[in-house]
Structure 1
Amino acid sequence: MDNMLALVCKTFDGVKGLEKYDKDGIIDKISGVHGLGRSVGKFLDGRFTVFCLENLRPFYGDVIIDDPQRKLILHRPRFPGGESHPGFLDFAINMIHLDRAHLRFLTVSVHGLRETLFSHLQVYKNRTDIQSALPLIKDGVVSLDGGLLRPNGSFCLGRSKNLEVKFVVTTDVSSLPENVAEMEEQVKHKNWEKEMVLEYMKREEDLLKQVKELYRKQKQELMDYVTQPAVTQVCIHEQFIPFRT
């Protein structure tokens, strides 16, 4: 449940900006998110979870193109015989409704929020379903009655008194901007153009180095000739005077 209440940062610089420390490693309570809390009369005690999108392994599968929420194409977990568990509801990643502003978000690697922030967390009806579906679970699972199994295989038992999580019920009204697909294509095209420009710049830099080296050699040869003693120059010149009868 602790990972269901977390801060999300786009980059690691954002994570570093949340909390500052003095030379002894003590948290600076007047800067970062702690300072923000103090400004509104709230004080942060204990630990809190932060996700950094640029450090998360993205989902490399496909998305449902005609889905306004751009849900991921994930297959239901099945037993070796091919049947699925009746208590399986869906993957949590596809049960979360994203606001329009978040649908527009893209990482540097051109992945959306749904493709980076969430993993293959499964959702079942109750704890009993979790126990009977253990062979199908790899990346953690939650149930509607509060069951929780972490990816490392540890169970969370008992009841939390100080933590309350509520999920807002949403309608299926489309919140996908019409130009999201076009924006993604533009980003990919810009990244391609950037790579082409970098390659062109590298070729030009290599060519410039060659020209500079050639110029340096010719300049040195000219300077060597100009700085030769005058007698030597005269002798060299007289060697080429044509003989006349």
Structure 2
Amino acid sequence: MAHRDGALTGCHMWSTQGVYEVKSLQLILIAAGIAGATPALAQDAAPVQDTGGAQIDPTFTGPRVEGFGGVDFQKYDFNPSPAGADRKHTGGVAGALGGFDIGFRNLVLGVYGSYALPTSNSCDNSAAAIGRCVRPEREIEAGGRIGFKGGDSFFGNRVMLYAKGGYVNTSVKVQSGLNGGGVYNTHRLIGGWRAGAGAEYAVTENAYVKVEYDYTRTGRFSLEPYGFADTDYRQSKNQVLAGFGVRF
């Protein structure tokens, strides 16, 4: 009987120990499986956004508003051109712009309109000079542009290069000095065209900075109503601009 009890006790002890061993083995296998799966899950997971914004992916599309300013190099051109009648002047320009862009893969097509106030003007102290003072008062521009997004190229996905073209309407104040005395003051609206090129850099997905070069040439208008027979006038200008904009 004692022998039987001993056998039963030994059997019970072996059974309990075996259960512990099986459970321990299962835990080891589960832990090993988790450890093996972790790298795979880490590889499949999306990369974490860099809090510094290094991984932003701007589209350069949608509605936008922008403020800009820069340097304005103007030339006032008279025809015929008596001595000293051609004038050049450097001033500033500042304005605001609104636009809308759509994208096609790496291309961006857009339209825009802007309002700007130039400060450049030209004056001649001689009362007999043609176009004694010429002062541009405001510019309204409407046009379109085509851009190329850098993507995986040398420029990177934060840069877009673009070319633009549009119509410009300029309000000009002209003080005309007549031969023999007298001055005519008049405000004229002059239409013209503008072409330019620039680059945008995305600071965030919705904000950008830009640099731009523009060339503008207006049509001619006659000064004959102001006492100058067979004389006309027009402007040409170069502008270098910088701006900051926000997309919505």
Q: Which protein is bigger by CA-based radius of gyration?
A: 2
Higher helix share: 1
Q: Per the shorter chain, which TM-score range?
A: under 0.3
TM-score normalised to structure 1 length = 0.18
- Indicate the structure whose relative CO is greater, using CA pairs within 8 Å and at least 6 residues apart: 2
